[in-house]
Structure 1
């Protein structure tokens, strides 16, 4: 696993039946920097040829998976999903937490291209490293279909959960939620 490069090396492992050698390549970027990453591991054959992307208020990420099924093979570098900046009419909340599995905000982002789902992604890293994070933003359906994932690599377990809604934030929710909260507070205090 490398969180700073598009290549990595490590010892060979024997994959369970139905599993193949897989490389998950990722790329995240914001206005200041681009960060490549790669994880090489055994994966179920159904995880091969995956592509997905997500956007938040201050950054974007995309990932793709490639596989091979012979002993000690190295999967090819997969192609990422294409970038499309055309608005699709969906609006999602957008936030990020680097020390918790929860974030909530009134900040929103206009979704573009195939990113037509609102995503809450949580992740916990335990073992030789410890980390919790959460993010909200727009995502492709393929990201949402990941559901709950857990992987142990080199003594570190990474557990991720992808929760999505397809309806975005309606104008009523953005405008009426603060109004309802104000009315409740008025009832409590007066």
Structure 2
């Protein structure tokens, strides 16, 4: 799978274009790319979302440039399951077709923070549940259930449970449509005492693994 976070932001940017800043739109598996210029909605900036996903001994990267809102420009966080770890960060600049600096990804930590979460992955559904658990480390002190659904000219449904940083939980559930694709991304986080967390859920947003940049 490829990370869908960049795809959502690109869809949102295309769905809300207006007379404002022009930004390059492209994606790559390296740390740079070039592409066509798009007109952003008013108040948006030119942004980069950089993500790495580690599964076993293999690490893959994704890099995407497009229009981002100001709150998306400060995104930095990570999530971990028993099978993988994802780290992502964003940066922005504010002139026509500028290229933002490469954002710094969150660091690693092996220090258990007292939180234990369920852990599972689904590549075919917006729901997963398991008795498997994972001990959270560092700043990943929230349990998440993330679901992503994309429909239209291409379709995809994914779900993840694991440990997450609070930063992902602050973004809120969102949806968008553009170029024949509709996306709905929901990130549900638990808050409460240490130990295996269950019960009260708050909506949030993220995603993993994205389709090729806009067909």
Whether the TM-score (by the shorter chain) exceeds 0.5 is yes
Aligned partner (choices 100, 108, 120) of residue 133 of structure 2:
108
State the partner residue of 1:182: none
Q: Distance between the aligned counterparts of 1:162 and 1:33, measured in 2?
A: 25
Specify every segment of 5 or more residues in structure 2 that has no aligned partner in the other structure, as ranges: 1-25, 199-215
Structure 1 residue 49 displacement after superposition: 2.3
State the partner residue of 2:22: none
CA 117–3 in structure 1, closer or farther in 2 if over 3 Å, else same: farther
Structure 1 residue 168 displacement after superposition: 6.7
State the partner residue of 1:75: 100
State the partner residue of 1:53: 78
Please, which moves more after superposition, 160-169 or 99-108?
Answer: 160-169
Structure 1 residue 172 displacement after superposition: 10
CA 113–169 in structure 1, closer or farther in 2 if over 3 Å, else same: closer
State the partner residue of 2:146: 121
TM-score (norm 2): 0.73
Structure 1 residue 162 displacement after superposition: 1.0
SS in 1 for 2:38: coil
State the partner residue of 1:90: 115
Question: Larger Cα Rg: Structure 1 or Structure 2?
Answer: 1
CA 155–74 in structure 1, closer or farther in 2 if over 3 Å, else same: farther
Q: Distance between the aligned counterparts of 1:172 and 1:130, measured in 2?
A: 32
State the partner residue of 2:160: 135
State the partner residue of 2:185: 160
More helix by share: 1
Structure 1 residue 95 displacement after superposition: 0.2
Q: Distance between the aligned counterparts of 2:196 and 2:92, measured in 1?
A: 43
TM-score (norm 1): 0.82
CA 143–111 in structure 1, closer or farther in 2 if over 3 Å, else same: same
Q: Distance between the aligned counterparts of 1:23 and 1:35, measured in 2?
A: 17
State the partner residue of 2:171: 146
2:120·2:132 contact (CA, 8 Å) conserved in 1? yes
Structure 1 residue 105 displacement after superposition: 0.4
1:117·1:168 contact (CA, 8 Å) conserved in 2? no
Q: Distance between the aligned counterparts of 2:196 and 2:147, measured in 1?
A: 26
2:53·2:86 contact (CA, 8 Å) conserved in 1? yes
What do the CA deviations read for 1:140-187 (whole angstroms, capped 9, x no partner)? 0001112213455765444311110023774697xxxxxxxxxxxxxx
RMSD: 2.2
Q: Would you say how many aligned residue pairs link Structure 1 and Structure 2?
A: 173
Q: Which consecutive aligned stretches of 4+ in structure 1 deviate over 2 angstroms post-superposition? A: 1-10, 125-129, 149-159, 167-173
